[in-house]
DNA sequence: TTGCTTTCAGAATTTTATTCAGAAAAACAT
DNA sequence: ATGTTTTTCTGAATAAAATTCTGAAAGCAA
């Protein structure tokens, strides 16, 4: 069940993380391997779900998403953090991330909307409808200095 | 200075966000356009920095990154949140995100490490070395329910 | 050794990316 | 409206890449 990755796999992952659209031919050249061999490895990394997908990073402001906020969500007392709550949160498209966290607060979510009034609408029309939410604490992001979902690939 | 996107651009963005490695030929077929026309648009979206890059989503656990944490960082009193602090935070590879936030706390950062002891090391060896940090409040993530950096592409 | 599995290289084939000339459409100014 | 300019598109040609396949080499277990 445990996935084992050798150095070649890690090299592939590192390069594809930096540029998902690198051609298989270029990748093969950088690794001094045949394209067919590299392709075979990439396919296996996909099968093994090491690679979960390929996404395009879009400048949020250009698609009218200028507001970013983190919201701490506390469940009602007497209710354990049900996965129903998490699922309901995750089903909202503007909710990018849902994390179950340690401590008193139950969930931390990351939300992206057009502006503060759309965030207000979202909270009123979507969050308030979810059962067993006792309170929310919102943190508005003024400026994002860094935002990379890139991992540190280990070296062997 | 303002980027204008028509419906075709948004369709392209939506599809490429879902799969950055979709072939230009497939994309053209879906949009009922010639591949050359689609390619031209994609190149322009890259030039205009609407598209900021293409990344591969890697299962963090498979590359030994099992711990995720959010850390609130407060600057020393009498010091405004200098961009130096933000830059120093952003320079740490394990720090995936650095957000300047509203309220008393100055920054909210997202950190990914192998385990809790590596997080401890990181905090002692890296965060403590940064000047003018008064306090940190760490929130450990127990379970991530959703994590998509996918935006909601507007419809026209 | 023998048999089994994995990984690789190299060649053949299919498919795609890329470039370019010119047509169509849209935008613009007169 | 009219003519002009700019943008966007199609379709064809070419270069490049993806994909498939065969078989060799390496690793491993019995």
Q: Give the number of other CB atoms < 10 A from CB of residue B121.
A: 12
The verdict on A35 touching B (C-beta cutoff 8 Å) is no
Instruction: Determine the pLDDT at residue A51.
Output: 97
User: pLDDT digits over A20-66, tens only?
Assistant: 999 999 999 999 999 999 999 999 999 999 999 999 999 999 999 99
105-134 in chain B: CB under 8 A from chain A: 105, 107-108, 112
The verdict on B142 touching A (C-beta cutoff 8 Å) is yes
Q: How far is the CA of A19 from the C1' of C18 (A)?
A: 20
Average pLDDT over residues B95-114: 92
- Residue A93 gets the label, from left (phi > 0), alpha (psi -120 to 50) or beta, of alpha
Tokens representing A67 are 């507001």
Chain B residue whose CA is closest to A110: B147
Q: How large a percentage of chain A has pLDDT more than 70? A: 94
Report ipTM for this prediction.
0.91
Q: Is B146 exposed, middle or buried (0-12, 13-18, 19+ CB in 10 A)?
A: middle
Kindly list the structural domains of chain A, giving each domain's residue range(s) and its CATH number in brackets, ordered by start.
7-47 (1.10.10), 60-140 (3.30.70.920)
Global confidence as pTM: 0.91
* pLDDT(B69) > 70: yes
User: pLDDT digits over A103-132, tens only?
Assistant: 776 999 999 999 999 999 999 999 999 988
**pLDDT grade for B60, boundaries at 50, 70 and 90:** very high
Q: Tell me the average pLDDT of chain A.
A: 93
């Amino acid at each position: 069940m445990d996935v084992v990755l050798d150095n070649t796999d890690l090299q592939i992952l590192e390069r594809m993380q930096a540029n998902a659209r690198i051609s298989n031919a270029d990748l093969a050249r950088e690794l001094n391997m045949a394209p067919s061999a590299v392709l075979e490895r990439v396919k296996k990394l996909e099968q093994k779900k090491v690679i979960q997908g390929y996404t395009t990073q879009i400048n949020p402001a250009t698609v009218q998403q200028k507001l970013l906020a983190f919201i701490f969500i506390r469940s009602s007392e007497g209710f354990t953090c049900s996965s129903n709550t998490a699922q309901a949160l995750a089903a909202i498209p503007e909710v990018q991330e849902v994390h179950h966290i340690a401590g008193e607060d139950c969930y931390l979510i990351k939300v992206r909307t057009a502006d503060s009034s759309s965030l207000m609408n979202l909270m009123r029309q979507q969050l308030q409808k979810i059962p067993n939410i006792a309170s929310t604490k919102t943190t508005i992001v003024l400026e994002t200095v860094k935002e990379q979902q890139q991992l540190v690939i280990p070296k062997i």
